[in-house]
Structure 1
């Protein structure tokens, strides 16, 4: 019986070793000089119905130098309302050529400034464990070319937290073992600021402010009225 159990265990181990598991090293974020800046990502925005172009964003530098790039600091983007307009293309000064069959995946990423002190937003070189870019925007898009891609619109999801963000484009290639691995990527050079969704209607906010002023006044009137009524009752 023991020999049979050992035989079964050995068979299972051999079968498991034959499974086409992904090589973790092929899922690492590419770090080569060409691969790391292979794609140029341009961002525009629709904020409360108003379109802000990429050219306008580049004219609005961040007030906080830790961003290291222009950002949309003069506008308030709100989750579940506003949109990011994304185009991508090959970096003309890089000389990278996508391999045949490559596709593009777009992800929303937290800036280093916004991820500071937040382990749940930590960047990892192993893409499967990366927490800096957890927001999937689109996948299986056409490979980048010398001209800008068709525009991809990302409506900010309602559960997006308050943060500063950018967009990353991964060049993905299907491996023989069936996994999609990043072979190159590129980051947007502009950031945008996101505010939490405001689910409180303006009428409720106005009513609350009004009651804050009216409430103490009514309470004072009632107290004075009560004192006058007691004093009048005592005289009689």
Structure 2
């Protein structure tokens, strides 16, 4: 199906775009913003907001029409390929399939100090009305917190005999989340043989779920992921024998 953006009326091609330019706010800066929007295919482009952000930077919001079309049949996404289980079903599956507790180690690695994501998945309080993995009796959860080094993560995973390692990455400047993830997956490949490595899962709002193989991990979860989804995937991958 071919579609185009919607702004004021269906199919009018109107879009809104925000960006920052390294220039103080004045008439020239506004003209530069409109020139950039034009070169990006917005015609006509209208400046709807401009505000100086510190010394020598200006934030802009522009609104305009584009002629680009989207073919939804060509869109590639990662569909959920496992059933969404209840907490009771997850615990029963682990108990029946593993006959021991499933060990999960989670952390924010590198200099990333944003624990909101990993805490939402692991901590008892959870998120969006769902309790975290710590509430599952058949899961043994170790939350290492923020700014964990990759060697420490590997060592803890080894000590806890982790079945799965969950890594959250929020900081994305200069693709830090990608570099950190590749370093983490490489460290696990070096430290443990294929049959002994835990399931490697990363999550964060700026990850592309299609990049799992490129980053050397088993699964990527993006924004909006809930503890129940992660728990269901763990059962699918580790108890269902599809790891």
TM-score tier by shorter-chain length is under 0.3
TM-score when normalising by structure 1: 0.22
Higher helix share: 2
Q: Looking at both structures, which has the greater relative contact order when contacts are Cα pairs under 8 Å and sequence separation is at least 6?
A: 1
Structure showing greater radius of gyration is 1
Higher strand share: 1
